[in-house]
Amino acid sequence: MQSGESTPPLKVLVYSDNVNTRQQVILALGRRPYPDLPEVVYVEVATEPVVIANMDVGGIDLAILDGEAAPAGGMGICKQLKDEIFGCPPILVLTGRPEDAWLATWSRADAAVPQPIDPLVLADVVIGLLHSRVPAT
């Protein structure tokens, strides 16, 4: 990107009923998870209806859903979004443990990262998913 050019930020939705989980994700990724990606802005969401509303409006480049959230877990929400939204953006599901990755596959998640969150693992997976949303320059 040349000086003076402006690239719109990437929008990442972060869903969890736990504010600490949302903050861990945002702190792990920061404003620019990788130098060749645009800046990231976060949409923090604590309830399923707000996730659905944001995804229906569009403009989300990546959704990170807490599979352990209550009363609506991220895996069930992921399955619903993948079934109902044409061209659904990538979805990463945070699982309660590594052994739950198969459930994320059932939900049609594009990726899964176990909790507790390892910032390096999360960033690596997110960077890969966001690169699929950014046109090559």
Backbone φ, ψ for residue 75 (5° rounding): -70, -45
Backbone φ, ψ for residue 45 (5° rounding): -135, 135
Cα separation of 116 and 131, whole Å?
Answer: 24
User: How many domains does the chain contain in total?
Assistant: 1
**In terms of C-beta density within 10 A (0-12 exposed, 13-18 middle, 19 or more buried), how is residue 76 classed?**
middle
Tell me 44's DSSP state: E
Q: pLDDT tens across 57-102, in order?
A: 999 999 999 999 999 999 999 999 999 999 999 999 999 988 888 8
In a domain? residue 2: no
Q: Which domain holds residue 70?
A: 10-131
Percent share of the chain, pLDDT over 90: 83
In a domain? residue 3: no
- CATH number at 82 reads 3.40.50.2300
Q: What is the pLDDT of residue 2?
A: 46
In a domain? residue 4: no
